[in-house]
Amino acid sequence: MALQQAPMLSAPERAEALPARPGWRRWQRPGGASITSPQATRSWAASRRRGKAWRGVVTALSPAIVGVVALLIWQFLTQGGAVNTYLLPTPAQVAHSFVGAIQSGLFAQYAASTLTESLVGFALGAVIALPLGYGIARSRALAAALEPYLAASQAIPAVALAPLLVIWLNYGLPSVAALCALIVFFPAAINTTLGFRTLDHEVVDAARLDGAGGWALLRYVEGPLALPTVLAGLRVSLTLSITGAVVGEFVVGDQGLGGLLTIARGNFDVPLAFATLIALALMATALYGVARFVEWLLVYLEA
């Protein structure tokens, strides 16, 4: 029986038949044959790096791009006469009012009051929400007794409770801080409960078998595992504390940035009202950034 002779292949055909090495890419020569080379791989990797860098730049600049587009639309609507500047001032008018309030110390005086009220209310709400959320997560009886009331409490608007708090605690910091605490309490408690309920039970059981229990189990096992979820709830609560402070200031009167909004409304000073809203947004953004930094630092230290 005669053996069949394998067909002779040319060099380009042999290169085509060979499998590509991992991480290499076939490139087509002008003559039609494909080759695989380290130079092609390096060129492709450099192209991918440039694409990632460009996408990173676009992602970083996207908030600024959206803001510029919004300002241009705002300027077009007011300058073109589509909206009366009495109702919607131009960006230049708002900027002038904002800078003037900073230079006169108006924002420093009112913002300090709002910041103090929000931080005190946040601390008060967190001190109550964290242990209560942990207790609800660990006790079925406590959860059955309290969870319906927690859900029902969200049906009562916070602004409806403000007059009662003023009657009970009088005007000033105590009533506004209590209102802030009521607003920040729910997300902090719910996230704490969720964080401890969704722990990996195998890890917790293994820690118990190794002798961990009580405070040691909470400190070294349950706490670090639930920390990201708990901190996320606190971050949201810290931002909402600004809302609680402003709502309280609307009821109390002329304190804080909420009081400044009331004054601007009474004087029909629409640019000042817009400038105050921008100051509130900047304050909430700053608190959110601080919370994110503290969250990253705590997670990093626990790792």
> What's the start-to-end Cα distance of the chain, in Å?
71
Residue 303 has pLDDT above 70, yes or no: no
Mean pLDDT of 63-79: 86
Higher pLDDT, 8 or 204: 204
Look up the pTM and report it: 0.76
What is the DSSP secondary structure assignment for residue 80, as one 8-state letter? T
**pLDDT classification of 171: cutoffs 50, 70, 90:** confident
**Cα 199 from Cα 196, distance rounded (Å):** 6
Query: Residue 37's pLDDT is what?
Result: 57
**Cα 238 from Cα 291, distance rounded (Å):** 8
Enter the tokens of residue 274: 């817009």
- % helix, strand, coil for the chain, step of 5: 80, 0, 20
Residue 210 has pLDDT above 50, yes or no: yes
Query: Residue 188's pLDDT is what?
Result: 93
CA distances from residue 237 to 81, 99, 118 in whole angstroms, order as listed: 41, 29, 10
Query: Residue 25's pLDDT is what?
Result: 46
What is the DSSP secondary structure assignment for residue 26, as one 8-state letter? E
**Cα 146 from Cα 125, distance rounded (Å):** 16
Q: Give the percent of the chain with pLDDT over 70.
A: 82
Handedness of CA 206, 208, 211, 216 (dihedral sign): positive
**pLDDT classification of 15: cutoffs 50, 70, 90:** very low
Choose the CATH number for 91-302 among 3.40.50.800, 1.10.10.10, 1.10.3720.10, 3.40.50.2300. 1.10.3720.10
Mean pLDDT of 213-217: 79
**Three-state DSSP state, 28:** strand
Higher pLDDT, 5 or 178: 178
| Number of CB atoms found within 10 A of residue 195's CB | 23
Q: Minimum mean pLDDT among 79-93, 118-132, 171-185, 272-286: which range?
A: 79-93
Q: Minimum mean pLDDT among 83-87, 138-142, 239-243: which range?
A: 83-87
Domain range list for the chain = 46-88, 91-302
List helix spans (H) across 28-157.
Answer: 38-79, 91-103, 106-138, 140-153
**Three-state DSSP state, 34:** strand
pLDDT digits (tens, 9 = 90+) for 77-124: 888 777 788 888 989 999 999 999 999 988 998 999 999 999 999 999
CB neighbour list of residue 243: distance below 8 Å, 6 or more residues apart:
183
Mean pLDDT of 279-294: 91
Pick from 35-49, 109-123, 217-231, 288-302 the range whose average pLDDT is largest: 109-123
**Cα 173 from Cα 16, distance rounded (Å):** 79
Residue 209 has pLDDT above 90, yes or no: no
**pLDDT classification of 283: cutoffs 50, 70, 90:** very high
Instruction: Give the chain's mean pLDDT.
Output: 81
